[in-house]
Amino acid sequence: MLAMALALATTGGGYLLVLAVIVPVIGMLLSLVVGGRHAERIAFALMPAGLGLALAIAIEVWVTGQPLVYILGGWPPPLGIALRADGFSAVMLVTAALVIAAAGYFARGGFATPPGVAEKRAPLAFWTLLQGLWAALAVVFLGGDLFNLYVALELLTFAAVPLVCLDGRPETLAAALRYLLFALFGSVLYLLGAALLYGTYGTLDIVLLADRTAAEPLVAPAVGFAAGLMTAGLLAKTALFPLHLWLPPAHANAPPPASAVLSALVVKASFFLIVRLWFDVMPGLASAAVTTLLAALGAAAILFGSVLALRQARLKLLIAYSTVAQIGYLFLMFPLAIGGHPWSAEAWSGGVMQTLSHAFAKAAMFLAAGVVYEQLGHDRIAELRGIGRAMPMAIFAFGLGGLSLMGLPPSGGFAAKWLLMQASVESGQWAWAVVMLVGGLLAGGYVYRVVAPALDRATVALKAPASRRREAVALALALGAVLLGFAPPEFFDLLQIGRPVAMAALR
Amino acid sequence: MSAAILAGLTGAALVGLGLYGLLTDPHPLRKILAFNILGSGVFLLFGIIARKGAAAGFAADPVPQAMVITGIVVAFSATALAVTLLLRLFQETRRATLEPDAPAKTPDAGVDG
């Protein structure tokens, strides 16, 4: 009851949550007003502020040991809307701020308009969309109301889809349209589910819903149906196998900084909501059948995505299919982390760790591929021999990112997969551990396909001079993925704050 | 048959029609239309739920009505974005279909790097 009361009133530091949403929105609106020539400067002025806010939220959550809450306009739910930040939200906010800042720094100059030249649409679009995407991500991570989250997801889609087709080539337009149609299909299913939930329980506030579903779990068949619809819709947006068809063309054809943000963060937003739905809103409904189905789809995604990544001829498509595979790992946490078993906390940490480390590793790999593309004028894997000498940092970044995807120490990916594997062994669900091992081997295969020829002795003809700054950005992100492997125990304590079962044990 | 049940059945029929169109029709423009039909069904459902006054025992619950208004704005923007993309695709390629699967096949022939 105490936790209930806490979740329905603004806590100290709650204003930080509002600022975290407003700062990127201000940037987006200002950029629209002042135009593409100055949009970049505005973005760079606000990125440190956003990162600082995200860090402040994480510290506040960690220090108080309780989720932060802000009740908008002083109207408590069910009438009003709450913003809430638990440990998972806080680390996702920090990751989003870091990856977006890195992608922005990578893009610096790429969308610049020299003085005296007529302004084009791409710079304005890129910087406003990037900040719009950031704002939408913040709402997704902080939103406490399922309808509010629907709006946030749609905003995210509207920012992400045009990023895919910034250069206006026909194939990118087709990829963007396909992405949009999948996303709309997903969001309308989610909305239908939300309507049914509201009809049954009379609220869409996550904490109130959790309370009411716990009191009367299956009050109507509509609830199970709603959960199914919402999950299916979110799976389409997360691109979990077999709903992944839109992802490879969209992520592989976008400009490199956009690909990095899409693969690292945007697909995680809908995954984040699936976690919210099953762990926070209706844990009582998450039967073994449901969680096993999600994990089985995840296992299929790991095998299918990795094998397809092995067969790609283009570097960016290889990385995109690897995203399909790595998304699969995220869903292995469902049968392992649900409930209050001794291994649940471990599996939860593993799942969150996989979300974070994949974000850093994949962003690094897409940016590294962007450097390769920029300098060679193509990204055909068969013709990458010897590029390691021309762009050592980019290839090193790609390799380090790959290390995390494979799950080799020291890296965040290793910590994630180790925790998940331990949980699967302790819980007696061996099959998932086997899938993870096979997935790691396959990941090793596709990373080797790129890194081995790159390190060959051969001369390559470069189309453009190497940009050390861009290589360094990719490398910094890859080092972030490695550093996660050295996370101290306090970090894992932070991840547990707000986890429903963990909080129940505290009470 | 009461008005609410009639509205509910209409909503369900719209959802079914829209879902069928969205899943089976390969043409993007028809998919966009199907999305709108499906959306209308969902909004109708929200209307009925408002009528039920499930939340606080009002004669008509205002919260779902607010949600419908927001939902309509979102669906309108989504439709505008989708139609714009489709129009641009048509201008560039003189076709308004997503078949054949072009995106993966022609990566870098004559493209600015």
Distance CA B84, CA B78 (A): 10
pLDDT tens track of chain A, all 507 residues?
455 666 777 787 889 999 999 999 999 999 888 877 788 888 888 999 999 999 999 999 999 888 889 998 888 887 888 999 999 999 999 999 999 999 999 888 777 666 667 677 788 888 899 999 999 999 999 998 999 999 999 999 999 999 998 888 888 999 999 999 999 999 999 999 999 888 888 888 888 888 888 877 666 788 888 999 999 999 999 999 889 889 999 999 888 999 999 999 999 999 999 999 998 888 878 788 889 999 999 999 999 999 999 999 999 999 999 999 999 999 999 998 887 788 888 899 999 999 999 999 999 999 999 988 888 888 888 888 888 888 889 899 999 999 999 988 888 989 999 999 999 998 888 889 999 999 999 999 999 999 988 888 877 777 777 788 888 999 999 999 999 988 888 888 888 888 766 545 443
Contact between residue B44 and residue B7 where contact means Cβ atoms under 8 Å apart: yes
Q: Locate the chain B residue with the closest alpha carbon to A110.
A: B113
Q: Is the peptide bond before A78 cis (omega within 30 degrees of 0)?
A: yes
CA atoms within 13 A on the CB side of A65: 6
Residues of A in contact with B81 (CB under 8 A): 158, 161-162, 180
> Is the reported ipTM for this assembly greater than 0.90?
no
What total of structural domains would you count in chain A? 1
HEC string for A375-410: HHCCCEHHHCCCHHHHCHHHHHHHHHHHHHHHCCCC
Secondary structure of chain B: what % helix, strand, coil (to 5)? 70, 0, 30
- A192-212 in b/e burial notation, b at 16+ Cβ within 10 A? bbbbbbbbbbbbbbbbbbbbb
Distance CA A206, CA A213 (A): 10
A154 and chain B in contact, CB less than 8 A: yes
Amino acid occupying residue A238: T
Give strand ranges (E) for A48-193: 68-71, 82-85
Yes or no, beta carbons of A172 and B71 under 8 Å apart:
no
Structural domains of chain B in order of their starting residue, each with its CATH number: 3-93 (1.10.287.3510)
Distance CA B23, CA B18 (A): 9
Is residue B51's pLDDT more than 80? no
DSSP at A500: H
> What's the token pair of residue B110?
């004559």
Instruction: Identify whether A219 is part of a domain.
Output: no
Instruction: Identify whether A269 is part of a domain.
Output: no
> Chain B residues contacting A, CB < 8 Å?
15, 18, 22, 28, 31-32, 35, 38-39, 42, 45-46, 48-49, 52, 54-56, 61, 63-64, 67, 70-71, 74, 77-78, 81-82, 85-86, 88-89, 92-93, 98, 102-104, 106-108, 111-113
Distance CA A480, CA A489 (A): 17
pLDDT, one tens digit per residue, over A108-164 is 877 766 666 767 778 888 889 999 999 999 999 999 899 999 999 999 999 999 999
Instruction: Identify whether A497 is part of a domain.
Output: yes
Beta-bridge partners for A82: A71
Instruction: Identify whether A249 is part of a domain.
Output: no
Q: What is the pTM of this model?
A: 0.91
CA dist list (Å): A119 to A35, A125, A183, A329, B112: 9, 12, 31, 43, 19
Instruction: Identify whether A495 is part of a domain.
Output: yes
Contact between residue A184 and residue A170 where contact means Cβ atoms under 8 Å apart: no
> What's the token pair of residue A485?
């492997």
Residue A76: phi and psi, rounded to 5, are -70, 155
Helices (H) and strands (E) in chain B, counts: 3, 0
CA atoms within 13 A on the CB side of A115: 0
Angle (nearest 5°) at CA A49 between A46 and A54: 125
Instruction: Identify whether A168 is part of a domain.
Output: no
Instruction: Identify whether A403 is part of a domain.
Output: yes
Q: Which domain holds residue A440?
A: 289-507
Residue A148, min C-alpha distance to chain B (Å): 9
What is the residue-averaged pLDDT of chain A? 88
Residue B71, min C-alpha distance to chain A (Å): 8
Q: Locate the chain B residue with the closest alpha carbon to A202.
A: B55
pLDDT, one tens digit per residue, over A451-499 is 988 888 877 777 777 788 888 999 999 999 999 988 888 888 888 888 7
